[in-house]
Amino acid sequence: MNLKHRIVSIAVCAVMLSAGLAIGQTPPPAKGEPAADTPAPPADAQVAPPPPAPDAPPPELKTLDQEVQGLKKDVVDLNKDLFVLQEELLFPANTQVALYVSMDVGTFFALDSVTVKIDNKEVKNYLYTAREADALLKGGVQQIYLGNLKVGKHELVAFFTGKGPVERDYKRGATINFDKGVGAKYLELKITDRVPKHQPEFMIKDWE
């Protein structure tokens, strides 16, 4: 087979292929006339729906948005349930100990870190960023530790470091001896200003 014959046969193949493709495809219906296999709408459906408001989103988008909102709500609910379940399983009420940090005024103390020891064992060392310290000053309460302790007597020691009066490095401790009963135990590390002495004050409050 010479070159001429080859070119001719390739051209014939190409034409046949394109013709086959054209047959395989259904031609689009002409403007104004319905597609052949599409059923004609009933006569009473011929009435055009009222035109939507110019700024209103199309109904499909609205439905999609509602679905997304619904899913978001489901996720939040699920997250809440999982959190409660985790709390109940990992920290049951009869052994649970929760420790919170709060700060009032803060004129004489800029908080940098808190170290917590329970029964002479370090359970938490937390460094505070400026934002976190600000949040505490604005009235925020932080859960710094959540753990388990058996029923009985325990000792908790908290060390606070930061900048004290006149920008000096400041480190103080506070201790509490408490009785862990059968219910959950809540303790609060409170940092307040002792105005008459121009010094910060560190307390541990036992929420019975």
Partner 1 sequence: MRKAVLAGGLILGLAVGTASLAATPSIVGKAAPDFVLRGLDGRNLRLSEFRGQVVLVNFWSRSDGDSRQQMPALDRINITYQRAGLVVIGVSVDEDLRRSKEFASAMSVSYPILFDTGTEIGKDYYLQKMPMTVLVDRSGVVRYTAVGFRRGDERVYLDHIRELLRE
What residue ranges bind partner 1 (CB under 8 A)? Answer: 112-113, 127-132
Instruction: Name the residue nearer to partner 1 (CB basis): 60 or 169.
Output: 169
Sequence-distant (≥ 6) Cβ neighbours of residue 59 within 8 angstroms: 52
101, 137 contact by CB (below 8 A): no
Instruction: Name the residue nearer to partner 1 (CB basis): 133 or 204.
Output: 133
Q: How far is the CB of 118 from partner 1 (least distance, A)?
A: 20
Q: How far is the CB of 131 from partner 1 (least distance, A)?
A: 6
Q: How far is the CB of 4 from partner 1 (least distance, A)?
A: 52
Q: Is 32 left (phi over 0), alpha (psi -120 to 50) or beta?
A: left
Sequence-distant (≥ 6) Cβ neighbours of residue 95 within 8 angstroms: 148, 149, 150, 151, 180
- CA nearest neighbour of 106 among 190, 173, 36: 190
Instruction: Name the residue nearer to partner 1 (CB basis): 146 or 184.
Output: 146
Residue 185 is inside which H or E element, if any? strand 185-194
Give the tokens for residue 14: 């190409």
Cα–Cα distance measured from residue 82 to residue 23, given in angstroms and rounded to the nearest whole number = 58
Q: How far is the CB of 132 from partner 1 (least distance, A)?
A: 8
Instruction: Name the residue nearer to partner 1 (CB basis): 2 or 129.
Output: 129
Q: How far is the CB of 82 from partner 1 (least distance, A)?
A: 17
Instruction: Name the residue nearer to partner 1 (CB basis): 44 or 167.
Output: 167
What are the beta bridge partners of residue 169?
A: 163
Edge-to-edge strand list for the sheet holding 142-148: 142-148, 96-103, 185-194, 199-207
Q: How far is the CB of 174 from partner 1 (least distance, A)?
A: 21
Instruction: Name the residue nearer to partner 1 (CB basis): 170 or 178.
Output: 170
